[in-house]
Amino acid sequence: MSTQEHKKKPVPPSWSTRFLEWFIKDDYFEDVQGDLEEEFQLKAGGDTLVKAKSWYNWQIMRLFRPAMMKKIEPQDSIEKETTMFKNYLKIGIRNLWKYKSSTVINVIGLSTGLAAFVLIALFVKDEYSYDKHFKDVESIHRVTVKNYTRSGDLSRHWAFASAGHAERLKEDYSDIQYAARFYPWAFPDLTYGDKKFPGEQVIFAGDDVFNIFSFPFIIGDKENAFKDLFSLVLTESTAVKIFGNDWREQEILGSQIKLSRSGQEAPFKITGVIADMPDQQHFHFDYLAPVRFLENVFDEGTMENVGGNYNWLTYIKLSPNTSLPALTNDVNEEFWDKYIGKFDTGEEARNFYDFEFQPVLDIHLNSNLEGEFERNGSEQLVFIFGAIGILLLLVACVNYMNIATSHYSRRMKEVGVRKVIGAFKTALVKQFLTESTLITIISIPMCLLMVWFALPYLNEFIEKNMTFNPIAQLDLLGLLLLLLIAVGMIAGLYPALFLSKVNLVQALKGEQVINHKKWNFRSLLVTFQYAVTIALIFTIGVMESQMAFIRNSDPGYERAHVLRLNLPRDANRETFKNELLSHPDVLTASYSSRIPTGRLMDSWGSRFFKGDSAVASNFRLPVVSVDHDFLETFEIDLLAGENFRNNMLTVLDFDTIVASQYIINEAASRAFGFDDPGQIIGERIRYGVTEGRIIGVMEDFHFESLHREIAPMLIIYQDNYRGISLKLNPVNLPATLEHIAGVFTTFDSENAADMQFVDDLFDRQYLKEEKVSAMIKVFAVIAILIGCLGLIGMVGFIIETKLKEIGVRKVLGASAQSIWVLISNRFLVLVGIAFLITLPIVYYLMDAWLNDFVYRTNISFFIILLPVILAIALTMLAISLQTFRATRVNPVECLKDE
Amino acid sequence: MREYQLGEFEEIVLLTVAILHGDAYGVSIKQEIETRLKRSVSVSALQTALRRLEKKDYLKSSFGEATAIRGGKRKRYFKVTKVGKAALDYSKETRMNLWSAIPNVTYEYARA
């Protein structure tokens, strides 16, 4: 051998060799690779190394042919797998049967978690399906107008536009293909033959309505629906209501229906029937009539208005490929200059208005403007529930992991024997995954039962109409299958890995050595469960305390035993009121347009006189029409000035400015620049079509809900009444109510008395929060229950592993308490860690939630501590139950093994 | 004895193994063919032929010694079996029969 060879021996490419080893028949590898290597060395000596290497690679590539390859025996391996799978299944079923109590706990935990997840998934799916059914829905937008104050702050943003907007926008912009305004004309009576339907909501809509929204026609068609001025399009269920179930057999097209309101009558003809509007739509109409009809009812000024009178729901449909931001920008640049220009004050109108075109798909979840047609959802809420759903599912999985690993000692010998016989780790993993999937499969029917059972209640509670039928709804079926696999895998993976890595010798010796390390993955799982529990309890705590804060806060007016009653049609105000007051338990009565707990929706323009010159005020000053008993009925105090006297009734005359008197609230007084309410008494203002002096200032009170700050408001003694409020003596209430209903019927035999206690109306303002809080409570209780199941399993496991230690301690004279402390210490540390991790996050989130309220409570120390106290209490309970058993064990029993 | 199937390359390999008597393993067979026939042989082709011959029982193999140059891998030595010998004989015989059956006319024809 030369020295040169000695120095460095060339090496053939190792990856090639590995490749050869991988594919070539085991029997061939040694000599073939030896031959290749030998020749490679010969070549490397002569040729260059690179050449030798490429020769080597090339030869191996060419060896990659069927004759050289290992035999693939698919038949064989499938057969082996299925045989093994049968065995896993059999052992799995036997184990589930043998340890019935843990099977039951697991199935309860998993199926509850799954059911909660499925219910939440249904809710989320429903919330996201709004308005998707319309054709070209991406191009449909709602026109809204933002109003700004002089200083440029947003003063109001309603879901409505003015009557004159739709037509002008469509005319001026070619990108706006269709535009239609909608006017819900307040509740006329409908008459068909001798059938009468009082107080129906008829929506008057622009002719483009059927081009914007693809309402499917059952009879009639969109071209002819609004041809005639007196057209009326019904929905299917309205057709059933008017014509009966066999309406399809009748020739209802062209049938006459009379609309009447306040003595006026108009004959309408049925021109079409459209399918009922699906629940997942942000508005629902029963009757549609052409808006042209209203042109005869309203004056031209109203119909052409472009700068106010926001009562007209307006929708536009854009041409394909229109850029919404560009269009919005163009419109805002031009529209206001063109149609309004400058106000009387010389200010440019464009600084006070902005159009916003809302995509219809965003309305349900993301629009929460004043005057939304129906109550919308909230994407924030959808996220919250989505997060809770996923957390619940995880908690259920974690629960399974805890219980499965807790009982590892039961399976230790089995695992050991399998390993001795030659099971690979993968085989053991497969076996444990089979078991977890098996549990999940058993849980699915339970979950379905729970969902079917709970869905009607949930539907009633959140006022939805969700259905659950996985056979018909393929996406649900897919979800269930996905859940089955995902939960089986997630829940089973950790126990599988944990159990399969057991040391063979120790397993067979019966030693329990796995949990040597104190802080392992299992601690993490328990901490996670604690964290979820703490977060949910904290959330409930904050929500409840805010609810209590609102319930107990004084809104500034009397709401106990105050009843609101609708007005009989055409009754004399004076006689009706006196008739009601004739009952001794009706203490006071007051007419008003709105009552506290309602919304301050009506407002006129106000001007404040300084000397002879009037300055328009730059804040919104809404009005409520009342009578002289209003302040007394709601027990609102006057800070200065005096109440209306019963001869002060203002009668509006739209042709001239009429004299009037006003009472304003303290906030309005301050807004006018008078910090001392006494000073503003006697000042002159013009309000809408009235003018007069401020005669009183009342104490601020929460006319609207506590979501809003107390805003300036004004009351006027003027008959625009929509209801009467009665303060009752709570004694013998049923008899009093009967009297009231009786009086109502004598005045109006057609309509029913609608009586509502202001107390209830007050609570209803916070219904949304109440419902969310209640739902979170239910899910939190589920999470906590599942967590408790896991905890009990976990404590059982620890005691099992520490049985010998406990035995030794008992022999040496330890008391039951000291053993109890031994076990609980560890959990307390985990509770502490979970608390420290979770609290900052939920505190931040809940503080943001509270900030949505103008009047909010503070998160008290007690609420911060409550979840920890509860978590510790639950843990202690679980530990005590198990420890009691453990400490009673006879040391002989657990020490005799060795 | 019609069953002595032998391809052209297989015959060469079989003959070479016979020539190398006692020293026939992958590398030596390959080199022998390459020097004698002046053609290059790929490991793949050679191995395929060898294994096929072994499967037909014309060859039998056994592991020999390992050397350093082979990275410690043993050689596989091939030997011609009785059946292999018979196959070679049969092949030679049939060819000889064919040769002797060629009439002289054929050559004349070819010459013309």
Give residue-wise pLDDT tens across range A230-244. 899 999 998 988 888
Q: Any bridge partners for residue A178, and if so which?
A: A317
Residue from A6, A32, A57, A62 whose CB has the most chain B CBs within 10 Å, to mutate: A32
pLDDT score at A75: 60
Q: What is the pLDDT of residue A512?
A: 55
* Chain A positions with Cβ closer than 8 Å to B: 28, 30-39, 41-42, 59, 62-63, 65, 67-68
How many Å lie between the alpha carbon of A121 and the closest alpha carbon of chain B?
60
Helix (H) / strand (E) containing A191: strand A189-192
Q: A746-763, pLDDT tens digit by residue? A: 888 777 788 999 989 888
Write down the mean pLDDT value for chain A: 84
Per-residue pLDDT of A648-666, as tens digits, reads 888 877 678 888 999 999 9
The average pLDDT across B88-106 equals 85
What CA–CA distance (Å, rounded) separates A588 from A633?
6
Task: Please tell me which residue of chain B has the smallest CA distance to A25.
Answer: B51
A533 against A515, higher pLDDT: A533
The encoded tokens of residue A739 equal 């009297």
Instruction: Say whether A68 and B44 touch across the interface (CB within 8 A).
Output: yes
Contact B52, B10 (CB under 8 A): yes
Query: B34 at the A interface (CB within 8 A)?
Result: no
Please, which pLDDT band fits residue A274 given cuts at 50, 70 and 90? very high
Q: Please judge whether A34 and B66 are an interchain contact, meaning their C-beta atoms are less than 8 angstroms apart.
A: yes
* pLDDT at A690 exceeding the cut of 70: yes
Identify all chain B residues contacting A33, using CB atoms and an 8 Å cutoff: 71, 73
- What is the model's pLDDT at position A4? 45
Q: Are B50 and B79 in contact (CB under 8 A)?
A: no
- Percent of chain A scoring above 90 in pLDDT: 18
**Chain A residues with CB inside 8 Å of B69's CB?**
37-38, 41-42
Rounded mean pLDDT of A151-180? 85
Phi/psi zone of residue A787: left (φ > 0), alpha (ψ -120 to 50 degrees), beta? Answer: alpha
Looking at residue A313, its amino acid is L
Report yes or no: B47 at the A interface, CB cutoff 8 Å.
yes
Residue A74 has pLDDT above 70, yes or no: no
| pLDDT over 60 (residue A692) | yes
Per-residue pLDDT band at A350 (split at 50, 70, 90): confident
- Is some CB atom of chain A closer than 8 A to the CB atom of B70? yes
Residue, of A66 and A616, whose pLDDT is higher:
A66
Whether A35 and B75 lie within 8 Å, measured CB to CB: yes
pLDDT at position A2: 42
pLDDT exceeds cutoff 80 at A393: yes
Size of interface A-B (CB pairs under 8 A): 67
Q: Which residue type is seen at A442?
A: I
Sort out which chain B residues have CB atoms less than 8 A from A42's CB and list them. Answer: 27, 69
Greater pLDDT, A732 or A822:
A732
Output the 3-class SS for A807-853.
HHHHHCCCCHHHHHHHHHHHHHHHHHHHHHHHHHHHHHHHHHHHCCC
* Position A767 pLDDT exceeds 60: yes
Q: How many angstroms separate the Cα of A295 from the Cα of each of A187, A292, A809?
A: 18, 5, 94
The tens digit of pLDDT for each residue in A586-616 reads 999 999 988 998 877 777 778 888 877 777 7
For residues A888-898, give the mean pLDDT. 67
Highest mean pLDDT among A72-86, A800-814, B41-55: B41-55
Amino acid in the structure at residue A511? E
Q: What is the β-pairing status of strands A176-185 and A202-205?
A: antiparallel
Whether A367 and A146 have beta carbons less than 8 Å apart is answered as: no
Interface test with A, best of B9, B35, B42, B44 (most A CBs within 10 A): B44
Tell whether the model's pLDDT for residue B111 goes beyond 60.
Answer: no
Query: Which residues of chain A does B20 touch, with a Cβ-Cβ cutoff of 8 Å?
Result: none
Select the residue of A28, A39, A62 nearest B27 (Cβ to Cβ).
Answer: A39
Contact yes or no for A217/A271 (Cβ under 8 A): no
| Residue B55 main-chain phi, psi, to 5 deg | -65, -35
Chain A residues with CB inside 8 Å of B45's CB?
62
Residues of A in contact with B9 (CB under 8 A): none
Shortest Cα–Cα distance, B61 to chain A (Å): 11
Percentage, residues of chain A above pLDDT 70? 95
pLDDT of A639-649, one tens digit each? 999 999 888 88
Name the minimum distance, in Å, from the CA of A58 to any CA of chain B: 9
**Helix or strand or coil: residue A215?**
coil
User: Nearest CA of chain A to the CA of B50: how many Å?
Assistant: 11
Model-wide pTM > 0.80: no
Does residue A100 register a pLDDT over 80? yes
Beta-carbon separation of A30 and B71 below 8 A: no
Q: Give B-chain residues touching A37 at CB under 8 angstroms.
A: 69-71, 73
Contact assignment for B43 to A32 by CB distance below 8 Å:
yes
CA-nearest residue to A44 within chain B is: B69
B56 touches chain A (CB under 8 A): no
Per the rule left: phi > 0, alpha: psi between -120 and 50, beta: everything else, A406 is alpha
Asked if B49 contacts B13 with a C-beta cutoff of 8 angstroms, the reply is yes
Mean pLDDT of A488-496: 85
Mean predicted confidence (pLDDT) in A244-272: 84
A-chain residues near B43 (CB < 8 A):
32, 35-36, 39, 59, 62-63
What average pLDDT does range B68-94 have in this prediction?
Answer: 89
Lowest-confidence range among A100-114, A146-160, A525-539, B16-30? A146-160
In the prediction, which pLDDT does A513 show? 52
Residue B16: its pLDDT value, please? Answer: 93
Instruction: Establish if B7 touches chain A: CB-CB under 8 angstroms.
Output: no
User: Cβ–Cβ contacts within 10 Å for residue A754, how many?
Assistant: 12
B67 touches chain A (CB under 8 A): yes
- From chain A, pick out residues whose CB is under 8 angstroms from the CB of B47: 28, 32, 63, 68
Contacts of A57 in chain B (CB under 8 A): none
Q: Give the pLDDT of residue A590.
A: 94
pLDDT score at B112:
47
State the nearest Cα–Cα gap between B106 and chain A, in angstroms: 42
User: What is the pLDDT at residue B1?
Assistant: 45
**Which residue among B44, B52, B73 places its CB closest to the CB of A63?**
B44
Whether A48 contacts A54, CB under 8 Å: no
Rg over alpha carbons for chain B, rounded to the nearest Å, is 17
Taking contacts as CB-CB distances below 8 angstroms, the residues of chain A near B27 are 35, 38-39, 42
Can you tell me the mean pLDDT for A158-162?
A: 84
Q: How far does A68 lie from chain B, in Å, by closest CA?
A: 7
Nearest to A65 among B44, B67, B69 (CB): B44
DSSP-H helix ranges across chain B: 8-19, 26-37, 43-55, 82-101, 104-111
Ramachandran category for residue B17: left, alpha or beta (phi over 0 → left; psi -120 to 50 → alpha): alpha
Closest-CA residue of chain A to B44: A63
- Do A34 and B75 count as a contact with CB atoms less than 8 A apart? yes
pLDDT at A838 over 50: yes
CB proximity B73 to A under 8 Å: yes
Question: Which residues fall within 8 angstroms of residue A680, CB to CB, at 6 or more apart?
Answer: A640, A664, A669, A672, A674, A694, A697
Residue of A nearest to B48 (CA): A67
Q: Do B26 and A33 touch (CB under 8 A)?
A: no
Q: Which residues contact A295 (CB under 8 A, 6 or more apart)?
A: A303
Choose between A687 and A412: higher pLDDT: A687
Choose the most confident range, by mean pLDDT, from A482-496, A777-791, B78-92. B78-92
* pLDDT over 90 at B73, yes or no: no
Per the CB < 8 A criterion, the answer to whether A779 and A384 are in contact is: no
| pLDDT of A898 | 53
Q: What is the pLDDT of residue A73?
A: 64
**Mutation site, B25, B33, B42, B47, interface A, largest A CB count within 10 A:** B47
If phi > 0 it is left, if psi is from -120 to 50 it is alpha, else beta; for residue A510 that is left
Residue A732: both structure tokens together = 């013998």
For A244-248, what is the mean pLDDT?
85
Residue A422: pLDDT over 60: yes
